[in-house]
Structure 1
Amino acid sequence: MLVDLFENRLALALVVVLGVPAALVAYVVLVEAVISRLPRRVSAAIRPWLWLAPALAFLGVFLVYPTLATIYRSFQNRRGDAFAGLENYQWFFTRSDTLNALRNNVLWAVLLPLLVVGLGLLIAVLVDRVRYEVVVKSVVFLPMAISFVAAGVIWRLMYDINPRTGTLNAALDLAGGPRVGWLSTAPWNNLMLILVGVWMLTGLAMVILSAGLKGISPELLEAARIDGANEREVFRYVVLPLLAPTIAVVTTTVVIFAIKTFDIVYVMTNGNFSTDVIANTMYKELFANGQPARAAAVAVVLLLATVPVMVLNVKRFRQQEEVR
């Protein structure tokens, strides 16, 4: 049986690795053969759409259709055989546990970008143009090499109340302080979870902001210093405005992650002790409570929460393109 399973997976892998590229090449050859027989004006008009057709098909099948199906499912009952109206949304916005998850998501969306971008910018500025810059950046960026699930396991052990396991409580024991239930003491447990995200994402923010910092012309900085500006004024009036687009990119990326955070909360607390978030609520409703309609409603709420951030991001990109 294991041999058959291995063979089936091997066949599937061969199909994916060889079959999909071969199909795309055959599609391109066929499209160009057909277009070459058409008048030049017609071929010029339809060629871009035919080249985009595979990508649009993938987007339609794997993004647009699931989104529309989820929205439709959120207006049905549990069995999916009758229309329930806004009942599932009413359930979400009238329960204390779901509202607590929504509040925690707001907390993540505020604190995580603030800490990640602030620390990333601070490290990028402090280690810029020093001999040990590469070493510091490598150490700070190292957490990005592991998954969020692994990070959750690591930090769950560090927060353990047993000083033989929990690093923080072992340090408190050595200092003569009381042990703390870091993951069970509200509201500090939410902050401790957010710090895990900060530990993971600060390296990413630092690398991006450092690249933006190195892109600033040294002549501009030197001109500001010649005009009498001190280092604080150079940073405030020259560096920060020039880094603003990069900071906006990092901030929106981290905000989106904060809104849809799941792995850290699921691994470390599973939403217990008032630490639940929207994504974890959706998971529990679907797989633990057997409520696909409610889970779909939670997914729609999560989607609506990310849409404004994406819209602002798109507008900012368009403004940058207009300036260029």
Structure 2
Amino acid sequence: MTDQILQTVLAVVVSVGFCLLYFAGSNFVLDRIVALPFATRNQREGIRAVVQPWLFLIPALALLGVYLVYPLFETARLSFMNDTGEQFVGLSNYQWVFADPNFLITIRNNFLWLLVVPAAATLMGLIVAVLADRVWWGNVAKTMVFMPMAISFVGASVIWKFVFDFRGPDAEQIGILNALVMGMGWEPQAWVTVPFWNNFFLMAILVWIQTGFAMVILSAALRGVPTDTIEAARIDGANELQIFFEIMVPQVLSTILVVWTTITITVLKVFDIVMAMTGGQWDTSVLANLMYDWMFRGGGDYGRSSTLAMVLMLAVIPVMAFNIRRFRAEEAQR
């Protein structure tokens, strides 16, 4: 433990020291450049205005290139190679992907996650955001709903393992869900192994986490709804449901879409929950888990794992493009 703390402190000190050294050194070089005797004052200021931003951008661009752009192109290249990444095999990996039964099950699971989690988390976040503002203890309720956002996906999975825990038909049950089931006179179940429905039990974990995110964003958007409009609707005889669906929801619809697409991107990248809860067993695997299995289990297959990574990336791109278009449209309206 002491060695780990010392390594962490050393890494922080070295990183901060390097940043300070780079900042001081780059400014020193820049001062020498703009101090050239043959340049006028305006030329020196022009050189400074052009060069100085790049002194701060170049390190960030270099890191993005090394850790983001290069891996992208290398993954694309490997998707056309064999399992060792040494022999070109053309489109055979992509042909395998869409014919593999495990991949088809995985795609079905991903579709279910995309269908259920963003809609459920956004809806529940919207409901909590509306109702919490109507009671005096609303801030306490919002805090409790938001707290799961501070927990990692693995930590949340460990918590929910106790909810779904199953100790055998004749053993004493400690799982909350099985305790409720037995209290109603039914038999306990190993919930994460139940075909098809086990996916929904795993989805509940992500909904539990993301509801807090949706609630915070939508609560802020609802505060921007003009109170005059709501009061006018009440005077005209509108009930609370009509106010909610016909006045509040249309005015925060753009925010709802942003929240929905943001959660959708999170769902497409989900890995931790499935790995911690089932390891992808019992037909619960998603794209990220299948990619991990092909890359790091059974000796590794560079070609097929890279192909799955490309499929996952291509699935994320349309959602991100939609999100960016919505953001630009909102910026243009301001």
The residue correspondences of 1:111-150 to structure 2 (distance < 5 A) are 111-150=116-155
Conserved in 2, the CA contact under 8 Å of 1:205 and 1:250?
Answer: yes
Residues 177/303 of structure 1: CA separation in 2 closer, same or farther (3 Å cut)? same
Q: What is the aligned counterpart of 1:302 among 312, 315, 319?
A: 312
> Which residue number corresponds to residue 192 of structure 1?
201
Question: 1:91, 1:32 → 2: CA distance?
Answer: 59
| TM-aligned CA deviation for residue 207 of structure 1 | 1.2
Conserved in 2, the CA contact under 8 Å of 1:36 and 1:43?
Answer: no
| TM-aligned CA deviation for residue 157 of structure 1 | 2.3
Structure 2 counterpart of 1:298, one-letter code: L
Structure 1 counterpart of 2:243, one-letter code: V
Residues 24/41 of structure 1: CA separation in 2 closer, same or farther (3 Å cut)? closer
> Which residue number corresponds to residue 17 of structure 1?
16
Percent identical among aligned pairs is: 42
1:89 and 2:88 matched: no
Conserved in 2, the CA contact under 8 Å of 1:106 and 1:259?
Answer: no
Structure 1 counterpart of 2:115, one-letter code: V
Structure 1 counterpart of 2:285, one-letter code: D
Deviations 1:218-244 (A, max 9, x none): 122223323443322222222112111
Q: What secondary structure does 1:77 align onto?
A: coil
> Which residue number corresponds to residue 253 of structure 2?
244
Structure 1 counterpart of 2:314, one-letter code: L
Structure 1 counterpart of 2:315, one-letter code: A
Q: What is the aligned counterpart of 2:322 among 299, 312, 315?
A: 312
Question: 1:3, 1:259 → 2: CA distance?
Answer: 38
TM-score (norm 1): 0.92
> Which residue number corresponds to residue 61 of structure 1?
66
TM-score (norm 2): 0.89
| TM-aligned CA deviation for residue 178 of structure 1 | 1.5
Ranges in structure 2 where 5+ consecutive residues have no aligned partner: none
| TM-aligned CA deviation for residue 32 of structure 1 | 5.8
Residues 36/227 of structure 1: CA separation in 2 closer, same or farther (3 Å cut)? farther
Question: 1:297, 1:159 → 2: CA distance?
Answer: 34
Ranges in structure 1 where 5+ consecutive residues have no aligned partner: none
Conserved in 1, the CA contact under 8 Å of 2:258 and 2:326?
Answer: no
Q: What secondary structure does 2:193 align onto?
A: coil
Structure 1 counterpart of 2:114, one-letter code: A
Paired residues in the alignment total 323
Conserved in 1, the CA contact under 8 Å of 2:98 and 2:104?
Answer: yes
Question: 1:223, 1:313 → 2: CA distance?
Answer: 33
More displaced stretch, 310-319 vs 171-180: 171-180
Question: 1:270, 1:48 → 2: CA distance?
Answer: 46
Q: What secondary structure does 1:94 align onto?
A: coil
Report the aligned-residue RMSD.
Answer: 2.2
The residue correspondences of 1:156-305 to structure 2 (distance < 5 A) are 156-162=161-167, 163-289=172-298, 290-305=300-315
Question: 1:7, 1:138 → 2: CA distance?
Answer: 35
Residues 55/186 of structure 1: CA separation in 2 closer, same or farther (3 Å cut)? same
Residues 21/72 of structure 1: CA separation in 2 closer, same or farther (3 Å cut)? farther
